[in-house]
């Protein structure tokens, strides 16, 4: 409790003391709230609030510690499990896994060599008497019927030459239509270039001319690959070259026509004297 100073000057008389009492009484009257004693209930409530606040702080602290301990325990268990798994593999097991991997790689290499011997992974020209043997002894085959003087056939040659090594699971062949009249008639080939797709020796689809490849002579390789993918002849594989071609394709989207434009890379490659038309040729 605060008390007002009640003093009097040394040697002061009775009048001075009465004056000091009046000042003290006035001060006490104006500050009566400061002198009120808190009740028992008030003290009890303050104590309960203080205890509750302390308990909350303790609970938060304990929860954080528990969470951190749980994370550390989980990391330790994972570390022990990894160590145990490694310990389970002794030197002999590791050697066996390594040897198995080497055997698998050798088997894959031998398989690719055998496929290469059969013409897979390359773009090969065949004769008419080889046609049945080639398309019936493989799972999937693509045969390009071409004319050696048609410029669009040369464009197809260029693309298939690049596609063949990328998809070794399929055999890519070319057959001169002039030298294969029987199969040209049998397969009703009337327009060149014509790409015929085979599954187990049975023709399942074909690409006639360039209409399905964008209708332009400088169509991108990715268009041809995706078209072959539609029938499951190949399983499309994306690469950096395809990404560049997709960008070029987006920039040229909507361009139609059959003639080579002046800036075409194929225009430079196939521009010859007396070159008049590049449209698909009836056969």
Least confidently predicted of 55-69, 227-241, 245-259: 245-259
pLDDT > 70: what percent of the chain? 61
Is 39 exposed, middle or buried (CB count within 10 Å of its CB: 0-12, 13-18, 19+)? exposed
Residues 6+ positions from 178 with CB-CB distance below 8 Å: 147, 148
Average pLDDT value over all residues in the chain: 76
Residue 89 main-chain phi, psi, to 5 deg:
-95, 105
Of residues 278 and 68, more confidence is placed in: 68
- Residue-level pLDDT at 277: 46
Stronger pLDDT, 1 or 230, i.e. the higher one: 230
**124: number of Cβ within 10 Å:** 15
Integer Cα distance of 141 and 133 in angstroms: 11
Count of residues for the chain?
A: 283
- Per-residue pLDDT of 40-79, as tens digits, reads 677 667 777 777 778 888 888 888 888 888 888 888 888 7
pLDDT for the residue 265: 42
pLDDT at 266: 40
Residue 170 or 262, more confident: 170
Percent of the chain with pLDDT over 90: 39
φ/ψ of 265, rounded to 5, equals: -65, -30
Q: What is the spatial distance between Cα 216 and Cα 279, in angstroms, rounded to a whole number?
A: 10
CB 174 within 8 A of CB 142: no
In three-state secondary structure terms, 216 is coil
What does the DSSP assignment read for 125-151?
Answer: EE-GGGHHHHHHSSSEEEEEEE-TT-H
Terminal-residue alpha carbon distance, the chain? 119
Residue 13: is its pLDDT beyond 60? Answer: no
Which letter does DSSP use for residue 3 in this model? -
Question: According to the model, what pLDDT value does residue 252 have?
Answer: 52
Our CA dihedral for 278, 280, 281, 283, rounded to 10 degrees, sits at 160
Q: From 144, 201, 134, 212, select the one nearest 177 (Cα to Cα).
A: 144
Q: In the prediction, which pLDDT does 177 show?
A: 96
Alpha-carbon distance 68 to 235, whole Å? Answer: 49
Q: What is the mean pLDDT of residues 136-160?
A: 95
Give the mean pLDDT of 100-124.
Answer: 75
Ranking 52-66, 159-173, 178-192 by mean pLDDT, the lowest is 52-66
């Amino acid at each position: 409790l605060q008390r007002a100073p009640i003093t009097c000057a040394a040697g002061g008389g009775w009048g001075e003391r009465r004056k000091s009492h009046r000042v003290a009484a006035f001060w006490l009257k104006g500050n009566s709230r400061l002198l009120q004693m808190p009740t028992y209930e008030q003290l009890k409530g303050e104590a309960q609030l203080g205890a509750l606040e302390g308990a909350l702080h303790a609970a938060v602290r304990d929860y954080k510690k528990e969470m951190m301990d749980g994370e550390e325990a989980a990391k330790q268990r994972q570390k022990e499990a990894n160590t145990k798994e490694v310990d389970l593999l002794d030197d002999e097991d590791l050697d066996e896994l390594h040897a198995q991997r080497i055997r698998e790689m050798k088997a894959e290499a031998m398989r690719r060599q055998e496929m290469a011997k059969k013409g897979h992974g390359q773009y090969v020209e065949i004769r008419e008497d080889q046609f049945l043997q080639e398309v019936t002894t493989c799972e999937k085959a693509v045969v390009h019927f071409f004319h050696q003087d048609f410029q669009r056939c040369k464009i197809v040659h260029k693309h298939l030459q690049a596609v063949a090594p990328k998809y070794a699971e399929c055999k890519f062949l070319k057959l001169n239509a002039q030298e294969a009249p029987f199969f040209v008639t049998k397969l009703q080939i009337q327009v060149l270039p014509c790409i015929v797709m085979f599954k187990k020796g049975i023709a399942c689809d074909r690409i006639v001319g360039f209409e399905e490849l964008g209708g332009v002579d400088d169509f991108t390789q990715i268009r041809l690959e995706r078209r072959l993918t539609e029938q499951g002849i190949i399983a499309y594989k994306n690469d950096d070259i395809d990404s560049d071609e997709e960008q070029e394709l987006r920039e040229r989207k909507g361009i139609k026509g059959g003639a080579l434009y002046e800036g075409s890379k194929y225009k430079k490659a196939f521009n010859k004297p007396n070159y008049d038309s590049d449209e698909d040729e009836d056969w």
